[in-house]
Structure 1
């Protein structure tokens, strides 16, 4: 006998455990293979039964993914033939200008086609043009940044950072792995293994050259992967509105794998919560298969960088408990348990190499390195200055705001977050973003609050990125929910007053928004690439990493083409980094005379900065 379900109180809708009546036309459950409506919004309900036309519907999705990735990688490769001297400022400006010109050559015809389709094309053709247009813009966003890095590294086979800092650590671990010395205890092994194998098979065992290849490649594809992850939840224009600014803002070309995991993880958590909300209407087999697929992807991401999982975990766990269909009976619970169990088991199996080491050595591994962001107000989460001691000056950060130190941007994202909570708290994408935000917020202040007592930083400043990412996502989701509510109100009004809704209004808004996002992406990508243009050590800005790559000899002993003064140094052998034996905080970027003020006690040096 079918189970009887109670209707939601007061006519409300959107409960994840409530099966909506057949006459309902809209739901928060996305199905990216179906483009039934013209407004970019959360897609129609699912899952849908298989039909003979299903492969044909999957073809545009495959074309969308292939287009985004091909544009990103292709543009990066095209940028490698820009003929400028990256060590002089005029050459850098010329290189940035060529990148913008080439991007415009690609984008202007595309945007023209999108605008034409918004006015003239039929529904399915318009949807295809819009999807491909958003994919191209997503690819160009980080493709321009990667192209800028290629310009900055022109003439040298070494990657950003050369053999210093974090790149030196990665090179040491990869070289150690190639020598058969195994992997580090608790450092995520995914990127190290990829770097080592890339060097083994494609770079003749030279891990320094392989690092440059992967810095360029992963920087290029970060934007498309972020966009495609959000496409599992949102329509094309809305997915791009979240992914493009996030990808360009958070892209860290020195170690792009870290932020690639972050920008993909949040929408995948939203996808998991969405599947959980609809698990009662799935078969047990379907629920288990979907859970296993998501678990495998989450396990791979965990192997590449585990911090985002730790900081998101408390809020996501609460979100999962809230979405479990506790009151729908044993059958619904069994399906939800199958989904979550398969996801957890698969993720644990794939991520087991790191999970085992964390269980064995996690308690003995303590992060004691304090850099610039450790010294600022811990409640400032709307920007990251970098760990360099150059511009802007320490006294000018955080930037002053108009209202109690808060900027207009802060007020904007906080307003957007409030609207998202008011309008979409029952929707899985909103719940996922809120869960990640709350989890990272709580753990940030927990670790920071115990920093002096435990003499441990525990990487808490990195939660800045996850918190800001969640705020950006919630702001875009609030705009989407407002647009959907306004459309619904208009439809009700027109039904009562017999006023005809402009047929192509939604199309034209989407096309215009895509043009604006494209211009924003080009400008933001140029800003990001400009930060990494080579600058001498006297400035100590982010440009020092590209500068260092021009100071190392090639494998044949010759200097890079644009080495300063045509002089360079021989690279040192890559050694396996050792875990820090410090028992107190190490204050980076702090002069010895200032050490007592910042860290207490005396510095272990007297003549150089930390």
Structure 2
């Protein structure tokens, strides 16, 4: 495990023994100065961040030039193909450079290229998703979801903030606040909240890959960080609410990094302990305001891990430094998150979650798939599809096997311990809430543990493959009679050329998966009519709301109907909490099936 960009880029092995002697002037001196600059950790961190974020945003901007009608299927297919053409034109040269340096370049040059290419792939992966949303919403200024569902609630929350009505109940206020600020700056305030949400959905969807990759670079080397960042971003990213799942994706590696600093606190100076604790406190406080739900599911496991790592027998100095780190981190996070903490303490007990849908009707032990309330033709009778062995699919069996390898070979890794602890804690809470659902008539968002449990399983599987790779390389070296061993404190050894070539090929494979997976994700959000009840309904709704000038969007489906009907009027109102009715609301269930599923007659049926 390594810190972000810790590896030295230059080394004695990468120097050219046949080169010109270095002098104070001339090209060799300039190359030496450039090499020294590229060895600086801050420069490497900045370079990775800049490349990853730049790739995501530039690709998203490029997709604004795709001119198709997104409300018909032919236009959608052409748009998806154009996105793939763009990503190939941008991505293939990067991969070519990576493969070339793996075969012909020096180790130092290849390490630099590898980290930058991995950063770019992470950015391009979610840049494709954001670019697809751009295509899906072409011709309309409204966001995915239009004015219904969760987007409508976010718009109304932002309106309340612009009206100085305070925070939106127990909902994290940072993202609605960003909507309000952007609506004020870009669209003149009240009335522009929906247009602001449109922009922020695209912007934060694009940044999901870079944020995930950079968070994992705190703990893992470039390839392994990419191996977790890209699949997790594509599987969990929801462009309708791009802030919620991104918070989960980056929270887990940040927790692991924080616990690593807690373990190191005993050997640090007081100033260093305070600064590191303050850094994590600010990050955790801001993330709490961004989306707080994942803190609940992570809390039990992190609490147990903190007790486990605390230096109970390390002496008075170690205890004092560790307590200081905890106090600064938790205290500052609490201060920053205090507005939301106050709302939760004030109103949390009076805002139960009673919304049930398809994931509440399936076996609660199923955690390897997710379905929203846009179910299409699927019901709890035919989803999830049963696998070959005790209902488990081949993917499930391979994932579980990799998890076993991760626990067996990588248990000394803090990443493995944190992921396992969070998984177990979320697993127990999931079944606690699910087992009380019938009696309490409350869901309490327990299906969302599906995401964090699956995420932790993916983490354990990737780290398991990493541990097996490292262990296997050691065994091979032993079989070949290599007696030299690099001390652990010296960091990772420079990989052999064959290892570099294999890693380059695997990065290419990850890039291919990223383009295919991102296209799958984008295709789900292409506009589909209401009768399909699919995820494309959210984009379809965005095309059927009047623009600021009162006209319909360019590709509004209602204009092509016979006879045409008008687009919906914009809704401008403050946010209001919905009254608690005391019973579960069972969505995705026909009226006649309510007694068999929900245990009562549908509320709209006259008794």
Normalization by structure 1: what TM-score?
A: 0.90
Whole-angstrom distance in 1 between the partners of 2:417 and 2:10: 24
1:176 aligns with 2:160: yes
Q: Is the 8 A contact 2:305 2:421 kept in 1?
A: yes
Structure 1 residues 462 and 506, CA, compared in 2 at 3 Å: closer, same or farther? Answer: same
Q: Is the 8 A contact 1:175 1:574 kept in 2?
A: yes
1:574 Cα deviation from its structure 2 partner: 2.9
Higher alpha-carbon deviation: 479-488 or 548-557: 479-488
The residue number in structure 2 matching 1:589 is 588
1:477 Cα deviation from its structure 2 partner: 0.3
The residue number in structure 2 matching 1:261 is 247
1:564 aligns with 2:557: yes
The residue number in structure 2 matching 1:229 is 215
1:116 aligns with 2:100: yes
Structure 1 residues 565 and 368, CA, compared in 2 at 3 Å: closer, same or farther? Answer: closer
Which deviations, in whole Å up to 9, do the C-alpha atoms of 1:223-263 show, x marking residues without a partner?
11000000000000000000000001100000111001000
Match of 2:295 among 297, 309, 312: 309
1:32 aligns with 2:18: no
Q: Is the 8 A contact 1:29 1:274 kept in 2?
A: no
Whole-angstrom distance in 2 between the partners of 1:37 and 1:306: 42
Unaligned runs of 5+ in 1: 1-27, 39-51
Q: Is the 8 A contact 2:351 2:580 kept in 1?
A: no
Whole-angstrom distance in 1 between the partners of 2:473 and 2:313: 33
The residue number in structure 1 matching 2:598 is 599
> Partner of 1:80: helix, strand, or coil?
helix
Structure 1 residues 55 and 296, CA, compared in 2 at 3 Å: closer, same or farther? Answer: farther
Q: Is the 8 A contact 1:65 1:135 kept in 2?
A: yes
1:541 aligns with 2:534: yes
1:440 aligns with 2:430: no
1:84 aligns with 2:68: yes
The residue number in structure 1 matching 2:340 is 354
Normalization by structure 2: what TM-score?
A: 0.90
1:36 Cα deviation from its structure 2 partner: 7.0
> Partner of 1:538: helix, strand, or coil?
helix
Whole-angstrom distance in 1 between the partners of 2:10 and 2:225: 15
1:415 Cα deviation from its structure 2 partner: 1.3
Whole-angstrom distance in 2 between the partners of 1:486 and 1:275: 29
Q: Is the 8 A contact 1:130 1:236 kept in 2?
A: yes
Higher alpha-carbon deviation: 137-146 or 274-283: 274-283
Whole-angstrom distance in 2 between the partners of 1:99 and 1:466: 30
Higher alpha-carbon deviation: 426-435 or 391-400: 391-400
> Partner of 2:429: helix, strand, or coil?
helix
The 5 A counterparts of 1:190-589 are: 190-205=174-189, 206-496=192-482, 503-566=496-559, 567-589=566-588
Whole-angstrom distance in 1 between the partners of 2:524 and 2:379: 16
Q: Is the 8 A contact 2:9 2:111 kept in 1?
A: no
The total of aligned residue pairs comes to 566
Q: Is the 8 A contact 1:417 1:471 kept in 2?
A: yes
Which deviations, in whole Å up to 9, do the C-alpha atoms of 1:478-531 show, x marking residues without a partner?
001111111222333334589xx9930221121111100000000000000000
> Partner of 2:532: helix, strand, or coil?
coil
1:220 Cα deviation from its structure 2 partner: 0.5
1:125 aligns with 2:109: yes
The residue number in structure 1 matching 2:171 is 187
The residue number in structure 1 matching 2:26 is none
1:580 Cα deviation from its structure 2 partner: 3.0
Whole-angstrom distance in 2 between the partners of 1:486 and 1:394: 43
Unaligned runs of 5+ in 2: 12-35, 485-493, 560-565
The residue number in structure 2 matching 1:74 is 58
> Partner of 1:387: helix, strand, or coil?
coil
Whole-angstrom distance in 2 between the partners of 1:408 and 1:243: 23
Q: Is the 8 A contact 1:33 1:58 kept in 2?
A: no
> Partner of 1:578: helix, strand, or coil?
coil
The residue number in structure 2 matching 1:105 is 89
1:398 Cα deviation from its structure 2 partner: 1.0
Whole-angstrom distance in 2 between the partners of 1:55 and 1:490: 31
Structure 1 residues 401 and 37, CA, compared in 2 at 3 Å: closer, same or farther? Answer: farther
Q: Is the 8 A contact 1:296 1:346 kept in 2?
A: yes
1:94 aligns with 2:87: no
Whole-angstrom distance in 1 between the partners of 2:384 and 2:10: 43
The 5 A counterparts of 1:57-68 are: 57-68=41-52
Which deviations, in whole Å up to 9, do the C-alpha atoms of 1:103-147 show, x marking residues without a partner?
000011110000011112222211111011001100011100111
The residue number in structure 1 matching 2:130 is 146
Whole-angstrom distance in 1 between the partners of 2:87 and 2:376: 31
Whole-angstrom distance in 2 between the partners of 1:140 and 1:471: 24
Whole-angstrom distance in 1 between the partners of 2:124 and 2:405: 31
Which deviations, in whole Å up to 9, do the C-alpha atoms of 1:1-43 show, x marking residues without a partner?
xxxxxxxxxxxxxxxxxxxxxxxxxxx45353324799xxxxx
Q: Is the 8 A contact 2:99 2:505 kept in 1?
A: yes
Whole-angstrom distance in 2 between the partners of 1:163 and 1:426: 49
The residue number in structure 1 matching 2:490 is none
Q: Is the 8 A contact 1:274 1:429 kept in 2?
A: no
Higher alpha-carbon deviation: 115-124 or 98-107: 115-124
The residue number in structure 2 matching 1:15 is none
> Partner of 2:599: helix, strand, or coil?
coil
Which deviations, in whole Å up to 9, do the C-alpha atoms of 1:263-292 show, x marking residues without a partner?
010110110111122222222221221121
> Partner of 2:165: helix, strand, or coil?
coil
Higher alpha-carbon deviation: 275-284 or 56-65: 275-284
Structure 1 residues 575 and 57, CA, compared in 2 at 3 Å: closer, same or farther? Answer: closer
1:394 Cα deviation from its structure 2 partner: 3.6
> Partner of 1:321: helix, strand, or coil?
helix
The residue number in structure 2 matching 1:3 is none
Whole-angstrom distance in 2 between the partners of 1:82 and 1:53: 39
Whole-angstrom distance in 2 between the partners of 1:313 and 1:459: 16
Cα RMSD (Å) of the superposition?
Answer: 1.9
Whole-angstrom distance in 1 between the partners of 2:437 and 2:517: 35
The residue number in structure 2 matching 1:17 is none
Whole-angstrom distance in 2 between the partners of 1:503 and 1:426: 25
